[in-house]
Structure 1
Amino acid sequence: MSDHTSDTPHDDDDAPQGRTAYDWIGGDAPVRALVDRFYDLMEFEPAYEALRAVHPPDLQPARDKLHWFLSGWLGGPNLYIERFGHPRLRARHMPYPIGIKERDQWLACMQQAMADTGVDPDLQQRLAQAFFQTADWMRNKGAI
């Protein structure tokens, strides 16, 4: 089975001028800002308490890894693969209990982070669909 890393938005022929999602979002600095907003929300917003609970106390390594992963996933530099090889997302997330609640909080937190950082609404919609497919694949507890 696939780990759904091929369900990426970077091959989007409908993007403005055929750009990658990475280009559309604005490159590295906006990707980093998105990731930082995502983790700030997770850390401080009670609505994301279950999501925060499955993360270690120090979020910096997770911030870096998500930034590196999203860079390549969006069609930019493959920073994660250069450091760690294939993402193997499901296998790497297996130690963490991820159910529907955690999936939905992850998606809501990312949606809020995209809105807060000014990601284009059309891109938000496309990313939300791709994020859902990947986040749903990460579930490993409850009704799988």
Structure 2
Amino acid sequence: MGGRPTFAKLCRVFYEGVAEDPVLREMYPEEDLGPAEERLLLFLEQYWGGPGTYSEQRGHPRLRMRHMPYRVDFDARDRWLKHMRVAVDSLELPPLQEETLWDYLERAAHAMVNA
């Protein structure tokens, strides 16, 4: 996918959108989105074959469990996907890589819905 630089850009662009989204922003109790951006970067980097830093620092990802405290409804899912789509498009990946990444992100977003 392009390694850390690719995922760092993806996360930066994504959280720029989250910062301006009132529904998603309230799901982040930290005033600074930097730590959330770093966690997502480490997770994606590990998921796509990079170092296991995420698991070393935070344990097993358990994505659904980590998102349970937040009300993730269809609106939140769609907002998340909207900002992630902008972030993925900013990467200008080759078509197969873009499709593979987007497929994963879409499935992950649908799996997080809990309300």
TM-score of the aligned structures, taking structure 1 as reference length? 0.72
Query: Does the CA-based 8 Å contact 1:107-1:128 persist in structure 2?
Result: no
Distance 1:43 1:121 in 2: 28
Q: Partner amino acid for 2:77?
A: R
1:97 to 71, 78, 92: 71
Query: Contact 2:88/2:102 (CA < 8 Å) preserved in 1?
Result: no
Separation (CA, whole Å) in 1 of partners of 2:94 and 2:75: 27
Q: Secondary structure at the match of 1:137?
A: helix
Equivalent residue number for residue 102 of structure 2? 128
Larger helix proportion of the pair: 2
Shift of 1:118: 2.2
Give the count of matched residue pairs.
Answer: 114
Q: 2:26 corresponds to which residue?
A: 53
Greater alpha carbon shift after TM alignment, 50-59 vs 89-98: 50-59
5+ unaligned residues in a row in structure 2: which ranges? none
Name the residue aligned to 1:73: 47
Superimposed CA distance per residue, residues 120-144 of structure 1 (whole angstroms, 9 cap, x where no aligned partner): 3332222221112111111111xxx
RCO higher in structure (CA 8 A, sep ≥6): 2
Change in 2 beyond 3 A, CA 1:55/1:28 = same
Task: Give the ranges of 4+ consecutive aligned residues of structure 1 lying more than 3 Å apart after TM superposition.
Answer: none
1:38: which partner in 2? 14
After superposition, the C-alpha distances for 1:35-91 in whole angstroms (9 at most, x for unaligned) are 1111012213xxx43222322232111111000000011121122111111011111
The letter for the 2-side match of 1:31 is F
- Mapped partners of 2:6, 2:107: distance in 1: 23
Quote the Cα distance in structure 1 between the aligned partners of 2:7 and 2:39: 12
